[in-house]
Structure 1
Amino acid sequence: MKYFWFLLIVVISFSGFSQENKVSSFEIQGNKKTKTAAIARLCEIQQGAPLDSIVLEEDIKRLKQLPSISHAYYTVEKGGKVTYGIEENFTTIPTANIYTTNDDEFAFRIGLYDFNVLGRNIIFGGFYQNDIYNSFGVNLRMPFLFSRKAGLAINYQNLTTQEPVYLDTGTADYKYNNTSHELLGLYRFNFQNRIAVGVNYFKEEYDYKRGATSDQVPLTYSIDKILFKSIYEYNNLDYYYQYVAGFKSILNLQYVVNLKKEVIPDFIIGWNDFLYYSRVKEKGNLAFRLRVGLSTNDTSPFAPFAVDNNINIRGVGNTIDRGTGAIVLNSEYRHTLYEKDWFVLQSNIFVDGGTWRNPGGTFDDFVEKDNIRIYPGLGLRFIHKRIFNAIFRIDYGYGVTEGATHGLVFGIGQYF
């Protein structure tokens, strides 16, 4: 009989232990605009599943990557009750990028986006750009349209700029227009890995305005193209309000089919952005972005990799050069100077540097001093902690390489 009571006590003990280490209930609180079902759909935690701190930490990390959420945390009560606390962002915000150089060049892009349409983490918005000419675009991204792993993105863009074209006889200015329609399928394999695959149909038009000419380069032409695109992203970033830590990699591969092959052949282009962030004590943040890219090495003056203020080198100017390969390193140290409630003031010290392969050139071009540009600089960040991406930045870059310029770059959001 004593063995019976002993076994009964053991069974009851293990039963109690088992219940204590299972999720008895799961609750989400603090969200107002974001639908509770939309948040729960993205979480791995399940009622009745084993209580695993790794699952809880990954859920919270995933939620903090959403534009709709500024901060998230969890609590576990006795009995296995789990609560996810949500602090939401205000997600209907303007976007802006403004840049100037010492050549009195001025260009800007403004827009309005909602990053949490219908409370379901749908992104919708558009932009207007003035860079000598007018441009606009509309974007719709529904990453969880079909399931918590599969979604869709639709983009339209009508972009017109003045592009310098570098000929053997000198430099020419062309009016360039790109009208594109893009459809992407989005799929997330797991918490850290996702892919986007799709097609982009676009039309390019070039009209000569001024400068040098060449018998090999037409004064005006247009061409229809189809672009097949795939983007693979590994994201292991961890956010704590304005601070970021971790590693992220984005690989972008494109195959462009020219519908007038007698004018321009098909070509391939690919690049990878490697991003690394590290917290420095309580108020500092180191940030690095390395881009390595190559394309088919045609001698076309319309090479795909640009040297540009608003893309890679702060202070360099508006599309001052082009190449069929690029290696660019952006590095900066962000330091919180003042923080109170929702407002943060950050200082920024940066060095942007890059080098390009000339169209039709060789890999030796990457070490040619004429192709290397280095721009150190200083900046400020004005940050609202409760509004997604509400970071107004001002950067001043000053070139230290031969023939360099200097200029201001304004924008919303961190540079990278």
Structure 2
Amino acid sequence: MKKLITILLLILYTFPVLSQEDGMIVRSVTFKGMKRTKASFLKSITETKKGDVYNTRKVEQDITILKRLPAVAHAYLKTNTEGGKCDLEFHIQESSTILPELAFWTTTNNIFAYKLGVYEYNFLGRNIAVGGFYQNNGHDTYAFNVRAPNLFSKKFGLGFSHQNWKSEEPLFFDNQTANYLYNNISTELLGLYQINFNHHLTFGVNYFQEKYQYLNGATSPEVPRDLKVNKILYKLLYTYEDLEYYFHYLDGFKSILYLQYVTSQNNFQDKFLIAWNDFFYYDRVGKKGNWANRLRIGFASNSDSPFAPFALDNNINLRGVGFIVDRGTASIVYNTEYRHTLYDKKWLTIQGNGFLDIGTWRQPGGEISDFWKSENVRAYSGIGLRFINKKIYNAVFRIDYGISLTDNTNGLVFGIGQYF
């Protein structure tokens, strides 16, 4: 008897429960509730069409496809059945997709810095993202980008970006530090391809010029004071996504693999390969909780150079560590946090969170054993707040305060969007 019950449970788990509409002919498919998003666009990217046989799994995937769109805060289905046929109504709760960007801060040299930008994530009502920003941190930076994932079809699109970035950054060599003015001028063209519901590819090329100009700090005859080099970066991203969305809550698994090959001709930065994978796992905890996890594992060509690609930084991996405090040619970072909703009304949600960030690095030219050396391991823990405007896409303002568990450093981290 126990074996029979076990077999029945396995069958129920393996195969979806059929709805009463399964097997009926779909008489009509309509979309309701949109103000800016084009119904014709939504019809083009969903699988269920007029005249199809109703399939529960396909319809559930269509709802998830809609929820993934920046313009859609939430989506649900209503069905009407009559005479062996059914009418489908997808109801859309739209987000505002015009997101201004405004930030102020003080640099390490006590320079008042600011950033002004604006992004539209549903240009022409067809899921096209267009935007740019201007930043002044003592130096002028600007960027412009376009991303149209469904430009040619529901599976194939393009992305384009141009950026002129300037910032003061530290370089590390011989246990010393020097500050350089870093300038990166880049133009990128990407192809965006959806293999199927869960699998996506991004591929393309980035042509860029890097400039390093010495400002102050340590010097070495082996490290140039001025460096200018043209590079070409070939990029491939593979994304697997199996997430359930419910407004700002997430549940499920996601993986992103990044592969980049950079060509350059100079004595200080050879051609190199860099690869890393981000693994995300989210779990709903009751009605108000969300447990979020990210594991990043990355490796690059292991040259003994101060220009190592993996940075240890507040805004990338460890909250509280500071601005680019070290670099490495490989890294393993684990971030975990519990988010709990403290306040939730029509347009505003406030979340509190507790987090733990742990990371370790391989030094430039070092060994795998560097991962286990105590001086390369950093751990931070802390608390934070999230202010979420539910009517605007990605309108999450975050504040985190991290305290080191391995030394006496700490710090505040501000940003837009969830940390991961």
Equivalent AA in structure 2 for residue 408 of structure 1: L
* Match of residue 75 from structure 1: 78
1:134 CA drift (Å): 3.2
The one of 258, 261, 267 aligned to 2:272: 267
* Match of residue 127 from structure 2: 121
Equivalent AA in structure 2 for residue 33 of structure 1: R
1:312 CA drift (Å): 1.1
Within 5 Å, which residues of 2 pair with 1:57-68? 57-68=60-71
Residue aligned with 2:25, SS = coil
Equivalent AA in structure 2 for residue 332 of structure 1: E
CA distance in 2, matches of 1:52, 1:280: 30
Residue aligned with 1:198, SS = strand
Within 5 Å, which residues of 2 pair with 1:32-51? 32-51=35-54
* 8 Å Cα contact 2:22-2:53 kept in structure 1: no
1:101 CA drift (Å): 9.9
CA distance in 2, matches of 1:130, 1:295: 31
CA distance in 1, matches of 2:232, 2:180: 22
Q: 1:224–1:295: structure 2 CA closer, same or farther, 3 Å change rule? A: same
The one of 396, 399, 404 aligned to 2:401: 396
**196-205 vs 209-218, greater mean Cα deviation:** 209-218
- Which entry has the higher C-alpha Rg, 1 or 2? 1
* 8 Å Cα contact 1:305-1:324 kept in structure 2: yes
**197-206 vs 126-135, greater mean Cα deviation:** 126-135
Q: Could you say what the CA RMSD is over the residues aligned between the two structures, in angstroms?
A: 2.0
Within 5 Å, which residues of 2 pair with 1:13-412? 21-79=24-82, 80-95=86-101, 109-168=115-174, 170-258=176-264, 260-402=265-407, 404-412=408-416
CA distance in 2, matches of 1:100, 1:371: 28
* 8 Å Cα contact 1:101-1:315 kept in structure 2: no
| TM-score, normalised relative to structure 2 | 0.91
> How many corresponding residue pairs?
398
CA distance in 2, matches of 1:109, 1:285: 31
1:128 CA drift (Å): 2.8
CA distance in 1, matches of 2:77, 2:45: 15
1:343 CA drift (Å): 1.4
1:264 CA drift (Å): 2.8
Q: 1:406–1:27: structure 2 CA closer, same or farther, 3 Å change rule? A: same
1:177 CA drift (Å): 0.7
Q: 1:263–1:369: structure 2 CA closer, same or farther, 3 Å change rule? A: closer
**383-392 vs 320-329, greater mean Cα deviation:** 383-392
| TM-score, normalised relative to structure 1 | 0.91
Name stretches of at least 5 consecutive residues in structure 2 with no aligned partner: 1-19
Residue aligned with 2:58, SS = helix
**313-322 vs 105-114, greater mean Cα deviation:** 105-114
* 8 Å Cα contact 2:338-2:355 kept in structure 1: yes
CA distance in 2, matches of 1:127, 1:72: 31
* Match of residue 11 from structure 1: none
Q: 1:18–1:314: structure 2 CA closer, same or farther, 3 Å change rule? A: closer
Residue aligned with 2:26, SS = coil
Q: 1:36–1:169: structure 2 CA closer, same or farther, 3 Å change rule? A: closer
Residue aligned with 2:327, SS = strand
1:318 CA drift (Å): 0.8
* 8 Å Cα contact 1:179-1:203 kept in structure 2: yes
* 8 Å Cα contact 1:169-1:214 kept in structure 2: no
* 8 Å Cα contact 2:328-2:362 kept in structure 1: yes
Equivalent AA in structure 1 for residue 237 of structure 2: I
Q: 1:110–1:314: structure 2 CA closer, same or farther, 3 Å change rule? A: farther
* Match of residue 10 from structure 1: none
Calculate percent identity across the aligned residue pairs: 50
1:221-253 alpha-carbon deviations (Å, 9 max, x no partner): 100000000011111111111111111111110
* 8 Å Cα contact 1:99-1:309 kept in structure 2: no
CA distance in 1, matches of 2:96, 2:216: 46
CA distance in 1, matches of 2:161, 2:27: 43
Equivalent AA in structure 2 for residue 372 of structure 1: V
1:241-280 alpha-carbon deviations (Å, 9 max, x no partner): 111111111111001010x245532110011111111000
Name stretches of at least 5 consecutive residues in structure 1 with no aligned partner: 1-16
Q: 1:412–1:227: structure 2 CA closer, same or farther, 3 Å change rule? A: same
Equivalent AA in structure 2 for residue 409 of structure 1: V
* 8 Å Cα contact 2:268-2:305 kept in structure 1: no
1:4-59 alpha-carbon deviations (Å, 9 max, x no partner): xxxxxxxxxxxxx9997111111111111000011111100011111111111100
Residue aligned with 1:389, SS = coil
CA distance in 2, matches of 1:52, 1:232: 28
Equivalent AA in structure 1 for residue 180 of structure 2: Y
1:215 CA drift (Å): 1.1
